[in-house]
Amino acid sequence: VFVDQGEPLGTGHAVLVAERAVGAADEVLVVGGDFDPVTPADVRRLLAVHRRTRSAASILTTEVEDPKGYARIVREGTRLLEIVEGTDAPPELRRVREVSTLVFAFRRKDLYAALPLVGRENRQREHYLNEVFGILLGKGERVSAVRVDTGGLMGPNSRAELAALGALLRRRIAEAHMAAGVTIEDPGTTFIDVDVRIGRDSVIRPMTLLEGETRIGAGCVVGPSTRVVDSRVADGAVVEHSVVKGSRIGRGATVGPFAHLRPGTVLGPRAKAGAFVEIKASSVGEGSKVPHLSYVGDATIGRGVNVGAATVTVNYDGYRKHRTVIEDEARIGSDTMLVAPVRVGRGAVTGAGSVITKDVPAGALAVERAEQKIVKGYRRRKDAEAARAARGGER
């Protein structure tokens, strides 16, 4: 449920206008839009203390190197004594380095009883949510403060702070994977999205990005310098120096270096997409190889096929895409152009340099190229012509 605050009159006002959306819940968890680097475990701890102490409100706090601009915390154990907005803090409180995060837990009835009492007598002329704590303390209610470690960072207010926060979150993600049995050779240059899953004993090499809903199996090697987005990589596969998007890579398959698997690509078990190979919306069967310098688009390649270097499936006629089918055990000679729609039968062979425009029957050889002509003495005659031309130019 989304609630439009309308005129932005502060954090307290934002929570107040959401009252109807909250409904009859007993507890309300409030998390600020300026993300503070707290963890799910931190939030669970906050809620545990909040419930155990029967607090009217509870707040997550942390210590930062420079507390300027943040609400200062004064507490005794887990009992909050005072919270003061940074812009309104007196000099003696400005030295306090423990500050409020933007993660709070409330008893709903106490929260919405206090919010209408929050004024705007501050420099920003806003309704501060933090004033609810003072109101509840004034009524004799228990308010708890739970300190957590955020690595000295808070929600970012600059590009430099955003970069530092990103580094902290990436490190946490990497450490969780390493604790689960994944080797990450250089966490500082490895970017792993929070929804990525990696199997045990896989190795993630430097300068690798794993994004979206990517799943990496066990015993894989990914990287270096590799990007995998929303893809599945089965156990034992190797992907190096490559870009993989929206694809599935089978058990024991190899990709790269410098391959590009585009959305809709499926590599079967032990298949290979080698150096400078681009594959798009195609399936490559078990044990088949596209080793180097080739483009495969809108194609179905069977099992045990070898595709020679510089092969191209010519899939686009300027208006529509067309499919190429290469059946099991076929051999495609280097520099073959397969002009789709076309089918190469089981065990068939195409000669190097051929432009294949017609279906090739199973077990047949298809060769399409001009007959080679030998012109004897050609180089000697051309050299003599060039020499005469040069002498004429000197006159």
Q: What type of residue is 338?
A: L
Number of helices (H) and strands (E) in the chain: give both, helices first.
8, 36
Beta bridge partners of 280: 297
User: Residue 98 burial by CB count (10 A; 0-12/13-18/19+): exposed, middle or buried?
Assistant: middle
The alpha carbon dihedral of 263, 264, 267, 272 has a sign of negative
Instruction: Report H helices in the chain.
Output: 11-17, 19-22, 40-52, 91-94, 108-114, 131-138, 159-179, 378-394
Query: Is the bond leading into 156 cis (omega within 30 degrees of zero)?
Result: no
Phi-psi region of 94 (alpha: psi -120 to 50; beta: other; left: phi over 0): alpha
292 belongs to the catalytic site? yes
Q: What does DSSP assign to residue 88?
A: G
Query: Is the bond leading into 361 cis (omega within 30 degrees of zero)?
Result: no
- Cα 315 to its chain centre, rounded Å, is 30
What is the distance in angstroms between the CA of the first residue and the CA of the last residue of the chain? 90
Rounded CA separation 22/108 (Å): 9
- Contact between residue 103 and residue 30 where contact means Cβ atoms under 8 Å apart: yes
- Contact between residue 313 and residue 296 where contact means Cβ atoms under 8 Å apart: yes
* CB-facing half-sphere around the CA of 54: CA atoms within 13 A: 2
* CB-facing half-sphere around the CA of 365: CA atoms within 13 A: 5
Q: Which of 13, 50, 260, 292 is flagged as catalytic?
A: 292
- Cα 78 to its chain centre, rounded Å, is 38
Phi, psi of 183 (to 5 degrees): -90, 120
Catalytic residue IDs: 292
